[in-house]
Amino acid sequence: EGDLITEIAPGINISGRSARLEAELDYQMQSLFFLSNSDASSINQQLDARATAEITKNFFFVDASSRMGQAVVSANSTISRNNYNDAGNQTDYYAYGVSPYIRPHFGGYADGTFRYSLDHVRYEDDASNSLANRVDANLVSGRKFGLLSWFTNYVFNDINRSKADDARFQNADGEARYL
């Protein structure tokens, strides 16, 4: 059954950069008005915000992000690719993340990145919320190794879910080459 839909979607995009801070905020309020099926009319909040701060010059950084929008609840039900079809299979979600990290330099011998990330996703309408803790570490050879180059990486991820099995995994790899 068809319907006439009117969309009003005011939004704002703000971005800025300074010597030690870079940030962007993109927000839209999508208002949908259905002529025949007014019960399907909705207001959908959509946000994508992120920032990177350099706390200590060339060493300590913090990334932060926040998102809000609509997501599919069940892959086994009717799926709509947008908010225009009232498939009854979407819910609002809210997500945030924070990730402090350091980038040490070891006197020309190696450069590294050591990062911790915390990400939280919360869904309305009884969908599965999650809280993820992640550690990333990597080292890359520096110029003092000359023709020998190498790297090593490590990742640990622990995801706790409210309506699904928790997941935990880790991986380590590396490589060395002589050119």
Q: Which two tokens stand for residue 11?
A: 């939004």
At position 61, the amino acid (one-letter code) is F
pLDDT score at 81: 67
Specify which residues 67 forms β-bridges with.
48, 95
pLDDT score at 172: 98
Ordered DSSP codes for 33-75: EESS-GGG-EEEEEEEEEEEEEEETTTEEEEEEEEEEEEES-T
> 65 near 52, Cβ under 8 Å?
no
pLDDT score at 71: 87
- pTM of the complete model: 0.86
pLDDT score at 3: 86
- Mean pLDDT by 10-residue block, N- to C-terminus, for the chain (179 residues)? 89 98 98 89 95 97 97 72 72 96 97 98 87 98 95 98 94 96
Q: How many Å is the maximal CA-CA distance in the chain?
A: 72
Q: What whole-number distance in Å separates Cα of residue 146 and Cα of residue 116?
A: 31
pLDDT score at 80: 67
Terminal Cα-to-Cα distance of the chain (whole angstroms): 67
105 DSSP assignment: B
Q: Which two tokens stand for residue 27?
A: 């927000």
Whole-angstrom CA distances from 159 to 107, 133, 136, 168 are 36, 6, 15, 6
